[in-house]
Amino acid sequence: MRERKADGTSSRRIECYVRAALPASVGERQRERIERLRRLEADGGPAVTIHTWPKRVTLDGPAADALAPRRYRAFAAWAHEHDVSIGPFFETRTCQSFLAEEPRRELRTPSICLAASVDDALRWVAPHTDADRTCTVVDALDALAAGDPAAVPNGTAERAAVR
């Protein structure tokens, strides 16, 4: 994690989480968004870190401390604090295994997700939605290109149109 810079300015960071092994069309859109992030970083934007996460991960037991479950919990807490939802993009379900006595909770991750931090404080997550609008990864990239990485990007897509 980055600390405040020596000159007293804030440390800005974008974490990009991507799923590997996607269909060609989805993978191409994912690559385009990563390239755009890298261009923004090269043009003086926030530092970018790319993480790969699995399509599905168990939220219970030993796997609960893995990257995807930890980030999901942080993103869900941010969403709760800001009265938005990440639920449509991070699907959770309860699964029963023939081998295990207890059911387990499983998380399905989005193909791409961005999280912005300033001085190690999570500022926004994309995608997310509220009662009226959805903030997509493209909306977040547009907000980053416009300037302030700490501002929560406003969604442009009507929620009904995204479903």
Q: With 60 as the cut, is the pLDDT of residue 162 above it?
A: no
C-alpha to C-alpha distance for 69 and 52, rounded to whole angstroms = 13
Tokens encoding 61: 């037991």
More confident residue, 33 or 6: 33
C-alpha to C-alpha distance for 145 and 45, rounded to whole angstroms = 8
pLDDT of residue 37: 96
The answer as to whether 144 is a domain residue is yes
The answer as to whether 52 is a domain residue is yes
Whether the model pTM is above 0.85: no
**How far is it between the farthest Cα atoms of the chain?**
57
> Domain residues for 30?
12-162
The mean of the pLDDT values for the chain is 85
Query: How far, CA to CA in Å, does 43 sit from each of 33, 57, 59, 143, 147?
Result: 15, 35, 37, 14, 11
pLDDT tens digits along 11-60: 889 999 999 888 888 888 999 999 999 999 999 989 999 999 999 998 98
Domains identified in the chain, total number: 1
